[in-house]
Amino acid sequence: MRTTARRTTLAAALVGTLVLGGATSYALTTDLTGHGDARRVDGDQTSQVRKQLKSGKAQNVILLIGDGMGDSEITVARNYQYGAAGELPGIDALPLTGQYTTYSLDKESGKPDYVTDSAASGSGWATGTKTYNGAISVDVDGAPQESLLELAKAKGLRTGNVTTAEIQDATPAVQMSHVADRGCASPKLMADCPDEAVENGGPGSITEQEIATRPDVVLGGGAKHFADTVTAGENTGKTLFDVAEGEGFQLVDDAASLDAVQAADQDAPLLGLFSDSTMPTVWTGPAATHAGGAEAPVTCEDNPDHADSVPTLETMTTKAIDLLDQRSGHGKGKGHGHGHGKDQGFFLQVEGASIDKQDHAANPCAQIGETVDFDAAVKTALDFAKKDGNTLVLVSADHAHSSQIVSAGSTTPGLTRTLTTTEGQPMTVAYGTAEEGGSQEHTGTQVRVAGYGPGAANVVGLTDQTDLFFTISRALRLAG
């Protein structure tokens, strides 16, 4: 049970002074009944905001995406883990915030599709080009659009891609591949992507393209696709594991082997595959049901399937930053790309994937646990950026989702589940876009985007998901 750990965390959050952008911002107490007890800002914040307005270029960019992490999902996790007056130590600590729109495009008309999927949304920030649901970094006509990771690698920066999903899933795939349909993960799954199939002269499946793109660090799930066999070209008959090994990738499959890696570069890029499919969630609990809101409140528990051998997102993010930031020079190696030096910096994308997947499953405990794990990864990135002084950290979501906080103990026409929060209070979470056993739907609302470091002011106000591409490409001088 997580009760003791959560009570300790709450005490740390509610006693003493909290910090915004390196300066005192507000203090919280456990008593919220008095005049001003619930306020989060102490005095005029103009000077503190001014200090965060750092113009100029960044050496490194870390982009963190909470899949399906709308404002509601953030609030659900904050209430449960830290209390209504608490804060998420990563997400809520980013000093500059805004909102961005997430709509995709209809493939035939080119007009807005108001509810995006992860593929179209990710393609938007990865390439700066709006596209249709299901597309992986191609435009509405199917033309490949160069991604931030590809641009960064071509300019000599080190690159990384970390996820708790399959590395072939939409969000990681948009940085490393270009296919007409997100389902084209391996050679045997190419029915919807005939133009990209190797036998038709194309670049291959998502997995084949990810090997060819060759980031310095790739970590996540999706090992099952590497067991698939190549059906055409010089690697015919080989498994994609064989192809990756032949291309010099270091392959690791558990937390211990990941920890043992000392370097990753173009001579020996790192490929960590820690699950056949999506990595297991860190927490578990009962799903929402039609009667769940009226049943006794539950407390979230550790997921026994997330063993010590499975790294958390925080662990993977910490390792990726450490490897990408190594000060020793990187050799060119095997003709695969530029030599990389410390002064050239890095681009890293990190995804907390199962906030979305557990929202689809109407499982609030698993959803909250993934949000808390993602927040820990954000804090890792923010801590690094504060020490480094030349790193832009950006945090957002690809789209919002369907979970809502409703009156405690409520039953709704949809599905509900009541949890006991860290404050000992009941919180009922409702899902209303699918029946029990179905998949809850994305929503089309704008989502939070937040930043810290050089260029972070570009997230302030209302922007679009495609603006992230231009913010990052300017910060890293990728254009031209």
Domain range holding 145? 59-475
**Would you put residue 444 in left (φ > 0), alpha (ψ -120 to 50) or beta?**
alpha
Greater model confidence, 113 or 28 = 113
Q: Say if CB 265 and CB 325 are below 8 A apart.
A: no
pLDDT at 139: 98
Residue-wise pLDDT for 70-91, tens only, equals 999 999 999 999 999 999 999 9
Residues 6+ apart with CB under 8 A from 222: 165, 166, 167, 168, 169, 185, 207, 273, 275, 276, 277
Residues 332-357 have a mean pLDDT of: 73
Greater model confidence, 344 or 106 = 106
pLDDT at 5: 37
pLDDT at 480: 54
Residue 379 domain-assigned?
Answer: yes
pLDDT at 129 > cutoff 50: yes
pLDDT at 303: 97
Residue 361 domain-assigned?
Answer: yes
Q: Say if CB 460 and CB 98 are below 8 A apart.
A: yes
pLDDT at 32: 87
pLDDT at 477 > cutoff 90: yes
Q: Say if CB 443 and CB 449 are below 8 A apart.
A: no
* Closest to 451 measured CA to CA, from 396, 372, 373: 396
Residue 90 domain-assigned?
Answer: yes
The whole-angstrom separation of Cα 14 and Cα 27 is 8
Residue 22 domain-assigned?
Answer: no
Q: What is the DSSP string of 248-259?
A: T-EEE-SHHHHH
Q: Give the range among 291-295, 299-303, 472-476 with minimum mean pLDDT.
A: 291-295
Of all residues in the chain, the percent with pLDDT exceeding 70 is: 90
pLDDT at 343: 63
Structure tokens at 471: 């913010």
Residue-wise pLDDT for 138-176, tens only, equals 999 999 999 999 999 999 999 999 999 999 999 999 999
Greater model confidence, 409 or 365 = 365
Structure tokens at 430: 């409702």
pLDDT at 237 > cutoff 90: yes
Task: Write phi, then psi, for 241 (nearest 5 degrees).
Answer: -60, -45
pLDDT at 43: 81
Cα Rg of the chain, angstroms: 22
pLDDT at 291: 92
Residue 2 domain-assigned?
Answer: no
Residue 41 domain-assigned?
Answer: no
Sign of the C-alpha dihedral, residues 158, 336, 122, 467? positive
Q: For residue 461, what are the CA distances in angstroms to 97, 129, 182, 450? A: 8, 20, 31, 10
Domain holding 280: CATH number?
A: 3.40.720.10
pLDDT at 4 > cutoff 80: no
pLDDT at 48 > cutoff 90: no
Domain count, the chain: 1
pLDDT at 328: 38
Beta strand residue intervals within 44-198, DSSP E? 60-66, 96-101, 104-105, 112-113, 158-166
Q: 206: part of which helix (H) or strand (E)?
A: helix 206-213
Residues 2-10 have a mean pLDDT of: 37
pLDDT at 281: 98
pLDDT at 239: 98
Residue-wise pLDDT for 439-473, tens only, equals 999 999 999 999 999 999 999 999 999 999 999 99
pLDDT at 327: 54
Average pLDDT, the chain: 90
Task: Write phi, then psi, for 75 (nearest 5 degrees).
Answer: -65, -40
pLDDT at 338 > cutoff 50: no
Q: 174: part of which helix (H) or strand (E)?
A: none
Of all residues in the chain, the percent with pLDDT exceeding 90 is: 83
Catalytic residues: 118
Pairing relation of β-strands 112-113 and 104-105? antiparallel
pLDDT at 19: 34
Residue 95 domain-assigned?
Answer: yes
Residues 196-214 have a mean pLDDT of: 97
Q: For residue 477, what are the CA distances in angstroms to 12, 280, 394, 474, 480? A: 40, 37, 16, 5, 8
DSSP secondary structure letter of residue 126: H
Q: Say if CB 337 and CB 117 are below 8 A apart.
A: no
Residue 32 domain-assigned?
Answer: no
Residues 281-289 have a mean pLDDT of: 97
pLDDT at 243 > cutoff 90: yes
pLDDT at 15 > cutoff 60: no
